[in-house]
Amino acid sequence: MSNTAEFFYDLSSPWTRIAFANFGKAIEGKDIAVTWKPILVGGVFNAVNESVYESRKNPDNPKFRLNFVWLKEWAGLAGVAMNFPSAYHPVKSVNAMRFACALEKDQAALVRFSEAAFEAYFTDQRNIDDLDVLEEIATACGLNGPVLRTAAASEDCKQRLRRNTQEAIDRGAFGSPTIFIDGTYMYFGNDQLPLVMQRLGL
């Protein structure tokens, strides 16, 4: 049985919002050591998956339109709200992911902030690129928002985000979420979670 997982993710991704919730519920109470790793998915796209930007240029593409239908159906199955897209789509996520990186050493706090940020963006349609909004989100979930804001602006957090993103690219990632099991087996997206669970022996 496998017992380690790494979850590389960006808070701006709707499919990641669903996968984050589903994966968290699936491993709850299980002997699985998870490392949550914030990345900048735009950096991944720029390096290895620029076709994502091309697909957004034609909103009348049938697959593009249906993706939003399927997205909301998957969200319903996961029990999470999906008021998407909002006025801020596609949102820049650099500030949000720097906040996340500032919490990376405290994984429980990182999960708490991430869940709150997902809720803010995908349920309440708030702008998670706005530093004031991010500070409010952090404070509302029991963290010290002003302190976290200062930490997120540090060179250490900026470098950590770059390193995490480059690590994901170097290991073969092309989007968010990317999940590695036992440091070897790579899976992408919410729809591959059954394969993740199979690999974990759950």
pLDDT tens-place values along the chain, 202 residues long: 679 999 999 999 999 999 999 999 999 999 999 999 999 999 998 898 566 545 556 666 766 778 889 999 999 999 999 999 889 988 999 999 999 999 999 999 999 999 999 999 999 999 999 999 999 999 999 999 999 999 999 999 999 999 999 999 999 999 999 999 999 999 999 999 999 999 999 8
CB atoms within 10 A of CB 186: 17
135 in Cβ contact with 148 (< 8 Å): yes
Amino acid at 145: G
Strands 33-38 and 4-9: parallel
202 in Cβ contact with 188 (< 8 Å): no
pLDDT of amino acid 48: 87
pLDDT of amino acid 57: 61
pLDDT of amino acid 32: 95
23 lies in which domain range? 4-200
CB atoms within 10 A of CB 28: 8
Closest CA to 92 of 17, 162, 157, 42: 42
pLDDT of amino acid 192: 97
pLDDT of amino acid 55: 56
CATH code: domain of residue 75: 3.40.30.10
pLDDT of amino acid 159: 98
Distance CA 63, CA 93 (A): 25
pLDDT of amino acid 54: 58
- The dihedrals phi and psi of 23, each to the nearest 5 degrees, come to -65, -40
pLDDT of amino acid 4: 96
Helix (H) or strand (E) holding 37: strand 33-38
The contacts of residue 144 (CB under 8 Å, 6+ apart) are: 138
Distance CA 173, CA 44 (A): 7
pLDDT of amino acid 81: 95
pLDDT of amino acid 85: 87
- The dihedrals phi and psi of 38, each to the nearest 5 degrees, come to -70, 135
Considering its fold, how many domains does the chain have in total?
1
